[in-house]
Amino acid sequence: MAYNIALIQTACSNDTDRNLADSEKYIRQAASGGANVILLQELFAWPYFCREVDNRHFARAEPVPGPLTSRMQKLAGELGVVIVVPLFEKRTAGLYHNTAVVIDADGTFLGKYRKMHIPEDPGFHEKYYFTPGDHGYQVFDTRFGSIGVLICWDQWFPEAARLTALMGADLLVYPTAIATLPEEKGALSQKYLKAWQTIQQSHAIANGCYVASVNRVGVEGNLSFWGRSFVSGPFGEVLAEGGSDEEVVMCSVDPEKLDIHRTTWPFLRDRRIDTYHPIPSRWIGDNPG
């Protein structure tokens, strides 16, 4: 059964209440426009605080389930939509995660995914804040479809996409906060953008599924978030794409068409799983035998 997804890309400030109000406004707009599944960007309620190392930012985190989860459960139940809610999770003292919660269209809390791959780069100091996820990859069977949730840096790793697809995901979702630094303007920023799109389109092709990536917009500190949220079909075609301003990107997906794709390009059939045993190794170049 086909359903409509909405990718909400916004700019964020230090005013959490305003960020939440803006996101709720766009969620209602998306639902009124026919969206069934609504996707929010990484850490949607806050500025991207990982651009700096500051212990005070841990005060932003909350347990899951917690107040933000409950707020979104009520909204999902009221509107009859699935919502993917990325947030800053406090698991216990000294243990925090970059997490996405999935809420079904009746407001049911279906579960959470904790980001597995944690970056550490200039302007992206996530290792200071987040512990890698430790309960594996997740697929959530919602009212409208089977959704596999991964988060931002996860999107560069084909292993994560493959495993989530093999668990039955029809749609891979990547809440994202990706930006350029001042020294990465011009042609270099376009190369980064193209690489970011291409790797995710390749996940769609290789796994015969849909991919949706939702990125924030605006300037925060020295980071310029480029937006360009998009949806890829299973042939890698861009079905919908946003610009660099706040907006709701709408797209229809039809999981029933995926079997046609997977029998036309039978990558899952032809996988040589008997030859992949070196994959868990960190590096095999020193031992070609």
Q: Is residue 288 part of a domain?
A: no
- C-alpha span between 70 and 85 (Å, rounded): 11
- C-alpha span between 107 and 71 (Å, rounded): 10
The values of phi and psi at residue 88, to 5°, are: -100, 110
Structural domain containing residue 61 = 3-275
Sign of torsion over alpha carbons 203, 83, 33, 228? negative
Mean pLDDT, all residues of the chain: 96
User: Which helix (H) or strand (E) element contains residue 5?
Assistant: strand 3-9
Q: Is residue 280 part of a domain?
A: no
Q: Residues, the chain, total?
A: 289
Using one digit for the tens of pLDDT, what is the confidence trace for 208-226?
Answer: 999 999 999 999 999 999 9
Exposed, middle or buried by CB within 10 Å (0-12, 13-18, 19+), for 170?
A: buried
- C-alpha span between 285 and 160 (Å, rounded): 22
Q: Is residue 120 part of a domain?
A: yes
Whether residue 109 is predicted with pLDDT greater than 60 in this model: the reply is: yes
Residues contacting residue 202 through CB under 8 Å, at least 6 positions apart: 158, 236
Q: Is residue 283 part of a domain?
A: no
Q: Is residue 287 part of a domain?
A: no
The structural domain count of the chain equals: 1
- pLDDT band for 190, please (50, 70, 90 cuts): very high
The b/e string for 79-95 (b: 16+ C-beta within 10 A; e otherwise) is bebbbbbbbbbbeeeee
CATH number, domain at 78?
3.60.110.10
Residue numbers annotated as active site? 42, 115, 152
If you average pLDDT over residues 91-118, what whole number do you get?
98
Q: Say what the pLDDT of residue 288 is.
A: 54
If you average pLDDT over residues 163-184, what whole number do you get?
96
Q: pTM higher than 0.75 for the full model?
A: yes
If you average pLDDT over residues 227-231, what whole number do you get?
98
Whether residue 24 is predicted with pLDDT greater than 80 in this model: the reply is: yes
Q: Is residue 146 part of a domain?
A: yes
- C-alpha span between 131 and 287 (Å, rounded): 31
Q: What is the DSSP letter of 65?
A: S
Whether residue 185 is predicted with pLDDT greater than 90 in this model: the reply is: no
Q: Is residue 111 part of a domain?
A: yes
Comparing CA positions, the residue from 261, 238, 106 lying closest to residue 170 is 261
Exposed, middle or buried by CB within 10 Å (0-12, 13-18, 19+), for 230?
A: buried
Whether residue 233 is predicted with pLDDT greater than 60 in this model: the reply is: yes
